Chain A
């Protein structure tokens, strides 16, 4: 099982220019809306034709502009899970699942459908129509229908975005479970970094039609390689930085110097630290400790975001340098402290990106 995608396609506003290679895996494609990630998925499926390049899945050439190959969709052996599931509303649940099984005998078809109904927790819904069942069930049917044809590659196009949060977490775990049994490769497109992290081994970050970064998910989240990757993987605190020494940078916007455990190789770039890595401390003793004032605050049910400014009192609500995420308990503990706070930006978590 391997995948090679190397395609170009001109789109409104930008050019899709993707190069991706992988072995058997669950690959996550993470990017903002309009970054071209769904378009790439549609190119692999054959729903959209790239301008040039090649797509090879499992040794089979789907598309090759030089050799003039453009395999019809039905011959590609793909499973495509659409965002809105795209179930056939005129067919019952079992008819939906059986749709791609025309090559089987009647008895085999019946067996296979029964097996899938069982496996995907759909027993009892055989005679229902797609609009008569819940969103979670619809998704299971769509997945069962897609894997029924035993595809070489499974393409998931933001399958969880139509579900509410509670159901979403449940379905992600379920999906993760079913993907373990699946022998082929899976490409999972999403704009949600949590979903990507939960479901995938490796993640490709998309930005403006290009692959910004591709690698092991842990590495990617801990040490983003570019400003865009950092932002898309959820880093909220980024600032321009200039190299001073191998492990120290100056951050003019914040008016401070910062230490980082990372070796800094470029003269200029950006410095970043995740909001949850910033600690509130009692006093400024070490390096990377700063006196800060609270400019604004936003409370979630369990976590609180503090918008902090280094050095002087903020003049308005959006006059801040970085965000710090702490638990509600911790927020309550420091509530009665008057005046400025001290924060510690652990050099372990301070990272530097070139662009």
Chain B
């Protein structure tokens, strides 16, 4: 994608980024239209006896759709920041496009990809609106932590809510700490000393 410069680039880019700016309920509504009982995908799957709406599959799909733009934008940025001379150098040394990608581009973009993963993970974890629309809140099946917190608070069960809040707090913090630590570890190894 970062090498593609055709006239559709702007359009494709916008479509892929759209869920980032849309309210999650709108994204959820779109997914519902597609995979709902009357949606094209939903009807197709129904032929085989599958129903994914209001199942945990739907929650996963909602999370992916909502988090994808973050993953896409951040990863793309990481690839675009690579010095093109370095990629050219690899090609002049006889490397195939496969080797250029996996041995040069991906390692150089790795910090960016890691950051993208962490961000997307956090976004997925916090996903609320779209999930509620397509997966509902079936305790023990499709109830995600943010939804559980919401309903616990609504129902006055503050103790339950606090436990969930603490759990999500711990998970998010751990991910960020690991991400930062890993980042500075890489820098110490290669970019710190000398130069």
Contacts and interface: CB of A to CB of B under 8 A. Distances in A.
Interface in B99-131: 99, 104, 107-108, 110
A73 B88 CA distance: 9
Interface string A58-91: 0000000000000001111111101110111110
Interface in B168-195: 189-191, 193-195
A182 to B, nearest CB: 16
Given A88-B104, A89-B108, A100-B95, A80 B88 contact: yes
Interface in B144-183: none
Nearest to A45: B92
B157 to A, nearest CB: 50
A135 to B, nearest CB: 10
Contacts of A79: 92
A233 to B, nearest CB: 29
A100 B93 contact: yes
A133 B108 contact: no
Nearest to B186: A90
B194 A86 contact: no
B91 interface: yes
B195 A86 contact: no
B94 interface: yes
A132 interface: yes
A145 interface: yes
B190 A89 contact: yes
A75 B97 CA distance: 12
B60 interface: no
Contacts of A132: 190, 193-195
B194 to A, nearest CB: 3
Interface in B71-100: 83, 85-86, 88-96, 99
B191 A82 contact: no
B94 A86 contact: no
A131 interface: yes
Contacts of A251: none
Given A74-B94, A74-B95, A100-B94, A86 B191 contact: no
Contact of A88 (B86, B96, B110, B191): B86
Interface in A281-316: none
A131 B89 contact: no
A239 interface: no
Contacts of B104: 88, 90
Contacts of B107: 90
Nearest to A145: B93
Nearest to B104: A88
A73 B194 contact: no
Given A74-B96, A99-B90, A131 B85 contact: no
Given A84-B83, A88-B86, A90-B108, A73 B190 contact: no
Contacts of B89: 80, 82, 86-88, 145
A82 B93 contact: no
State the majority secondary structure of interface residues on B.
Answer: helix
A146 B95 CA distance: 13
A149 interface: yes
Given A89-B108, A129-B190, A132-B195, A82 B90 contact: no
Nearest to A79: B92
Contact of B86 (A75, A86, A131, A149): A86
A128 interface: yes
Contacts of A100: 93-95
A47 interface: yes
B59 to A, nearest CB: 37
Interface string A83-107: 1101111100000000110100000
A283 to B, nearest CB: 59
A78 B88 CA distance: 12
A131 B93 contact: no
Given A74-B96, A84-B85, A89-B108, A131 B90 contact: no
A347 B104 CA distance: 59
A86 B83 contact: yes
A99 B94 CA distance: 9
Interface in A7-37: none
A90 B93 contact: no
A107 to B, nearest CB: 20
A146 B92 CA distance: 8
Given A88-B104, A89-B108, A99 B194 contact: no
12 contacts: A47-B88, A74-B94, A74-B95, A84-B83, A88-B89, A88-B108, A131-B190, A131-B194, A131-B195, A132-B195, A146-B93, A149-B93
Q: Which 9 A-B pairs have the closest CB atoms?
A: A132-B194, A100-B93, A86-B85, A86-B89, A90-B107, A73-B91, A80-B92, A74-B94, A129-B190
Given A79-B92, A100-B93, 4 more contacts: A45-B92, A76-B92, A99-B95, A131-B195
